[in-house]
Amino acid sequence: MRSDALKLSAVYTKMIFRSWFQYRVDAILRSLAVFMREATSIIVIYFTLLKFDSLNGWNIYEMLFLFSLVYVTYGIMIIFFTGLRDFGKTVRTGGFDRYILRPRGLLFQLIFANADWFAAVGHGCLGILLFVLSAAKIGVVWTPARVIYYIFSIAGGVLIQGAIFLFLAALNIYLFETNALKEVFYWNGRKFAGYPISIFHKAIQFCMTFVVPFAFVNYFPSQFLLRKDDMAMYPEIFMYITPLVGIVMYLLAYLFWRVSIKYYKSSGN
């Protein structure tokens, strides 16, 4: 990384803040809109789950804890990976060519020059609220070791989702349009991730563990803290390796990106 990369990322952050929060009321309302949109779906799920005592041994607060991890990790992830989430649009509008014409790393520019702060605030605040509501009621004693584990798992979860976006962005170079794939692999995968994966069919469990490994974003880290009976269905080591899965996935996605970017073609005019 260049010596002034930090300076440039600070310039980008300042610019993004100025652009997103130039109109404060508008910014608050838009963040609130994201928060309410996501919260509404959680409220619906909450009232549905109230009809059940538990789902495969998981009570309502334990499931809210699962959801909290999904939202917190997304809230952090989207600060860094908005440029990859919106990569298709950036290519179509010629914005990616603008990055190519600058003497800087393409991924660096995509990551630091874009951040969807409304999504970050909306998802992040909901994740924190769900954590606050559930953390005291799931019987976890928050020792320093568990807090550290939790932080590392969050970092791992951020990297896993960032890697999925990076992989899909690289795929965009060949396919030009990957919104449908993003819908299937990321957004649908995320919907499943709110529940303990043990309630699903084996095929979905496999997908959630090895294909789009959302299980490592929230289910297995939660198992470390909660030790539910259904963990017996999976190797115990899965509870500890979320950060490793994140790093490995991100490196693989990065390699795929490096190879793919050589095939990127600008239009003639």
Partner 1 sequence: MIICKDVNKFILKGIELHVPKGVTLGVIGASGAGKTTFLKLISGLLSPGRGSIYTFRKDPVGKRREILKDIAVLFADIPVFNDELSVRDSLNEMKTIYGIEKERFTERTEYVADILGFKDILDTRVRALSLGQKRRAELGMCFIRDAGLYIFDEPCIGLDQNAKAAFYTLVKEKKQEGATILISSHDMEDISEVAERVLLLDDGEAVFYGSKDELVKKLIPMEECSIKLDGAIPDISDLEVEKLIIDNDMMKIYYNSNHVSSKEVIERICAGTMVKSLNFRRSGLGESIKISHFGRV
Q: If DSSP codes are grouped into helix, strand and coil, which group holds residue 218?
A: coil
Residue 2 C-beta: closest distance to partner 1, Å: 10
Question: Ramachandran region of residue 85, left (φ > 0), alpha (ψ -120 to 50) or beta?
Answer: alpha
Q: If DSSP codes are grouped into helix, strand and coil, which group holds residue 233?
A: helix
- By beta-carbon proximity to partner 1, the closer residue of 10 and 148 is 10
- By beta-carbon proximity to partner 1, the closer residue of 4 and 177 is 4
- By beta-carbon proximity to partner 1, the closer residue of 129 and 261 is 261
- By beta-carbon proximity to partner 1, the closer residue of 11 and 233 is 11
Q: Pick the binder of partner 1 from 12, 46, 200, 254 (CB under 8 A).
A: 12
Q: Does 24 bind partner 1 (CB under 8 A)?
A: no
Residue 255 C-beta: closest distance to partner 1, Å: 19
Q: Does 4 bind partner 1 (CB under 8 A)?
A: yes
CA–CA gap between residue 96 and residue 32 (Å, rounded): 30
Q: If DSSP codes are grouped into helix, strand and coil, which group holds residue 172?
A: helix
CA–CA gap between residue 189 and residue 213 (Å, rounded): 9
Q: Does 247 bind partner 1 (CB under 8 A)?
A: no
Q: According to CB under 8 A, which residues from 29 to 68 bind partner 1? A: none
Identify which of 126, 109, 121 has the alpha carbon closest to the alpha carbon of residue 17.
121
DSSP H helical segments within the chain, as ranges? 5-20, 24-49, 60-85, 87-92, 95-100, 106-112, 117-135, 144-175, 179-181, 188-192, 202-206, 219-226, 242-261
Q: Pick the binder of partner 1 from 24, 51, 202, 265 (CB under 8 A).
A: 265
Q: According to CB under 8 A, which residues from 74 to 113 bind partner 1? A: 93-95, 97-98, 100-105, 113
- By beta-carbon proximity to partner 1, the closer residue of 142 and 176 is 176
